[in-house]
Structure 1
């Protein structure tokens, strides 16, 4: 059972991944000693380098998790975690130094090869290039660029064993930052589109409110006129009922007093 399981399941999982990588690095360097071909050695060194990058990332993650748990752990546990971190860093640095040694040996082999082939082979090399096809020339150029990149990496390693890891981390951070900025730009574009839609909706709503206001004002005027007419009619009816002989008020159809009955001529006579 992993001793880190009692502290944190995450720490135990990270420690297990680091241990697996260390075993893979140990087996990889043992196999590398048996490889004689320089190109195969270069490819295997690149694979081992990638594993070391992943191991460094996991060690950083282990340290971050351990610091998050410092307040909950007792001093002995924190001391044990710190010692384990230092031990893993030391083991990783040993593999980095071993990788540097193999890279230096490969570089020396290439230098010896070029030095041995410089004298007496210049014209043959020119003739060989002149007889190569376009595809062969392209492949040769790509191989030379790959070798140049590897030489640059070896120079970085020669300056500091861990500098190449820092450079790679910087490149990874730059890539992640660019992706985050792109996502934020797309999100801002979406927000701008939403704001434009909201602005258009508010403008449309304002126009509808104005039209409704005008309609309400018109309806109020009509109702006021109708109210005045009704009031006037009621007033005339009241006045007529109170004073039917008032000549100043015209008769309202249907409310006028009955007309005088006409007498026939024969009855009058």
Structure 2
């Protein structure tokens, strides 16, 4: 790895990751040999297959980096790097072949498990039936029919209970749907009421503002009248202010310019 570090840190890092995966694969297959249960073997093999996929991806990444650096390296360096890549590919292929071998063994065990051992039970049943009398065969047949009828009745009961549960569930869903519909309608009504109340509040606000303006104008008029009254009381002979009814000074009697007498 030190030689690769001198060429490219990226190549050295990729090779280190591939080496770690190879060690994991080696330990995993050694552990796989000690596992006897087919299910556990299958799970272990799936984990190792995932590691092999990751290793394949890293080797491709190593090859891409190698091609990017090919024009910078001398022929001897490129030859050494290609040999390193081929070595990693060969080692990965050996683990792939080992995986196929274990997978084949696990599949054969599963076939044996499903086929089951031939313990002669069928032959015993045939011998037992052949040794029965006709009445025993009829009784045995009637017993089997009774058991079948009981099984059918149990199945009917289960189906009936399932239908009842389904009906109750449908009714519950219908009630919940109606309740949700009522809630939506109530929310719509509340939303409409809120909009209407908001509009009414705005109108009241505008009316209050108008009333305030009118009251302010009346207040100013009253202040003006009061001021005029005060001025008239203080200076009744002020001709700049018009007379206010009831507050005007007494009119002097006009003197006649000629006396008829």
TM range (shorter): 0.3 to 0.5
TM-score normalized with structure 2 length: 0.45
Higher Cα radius of gyration: 2
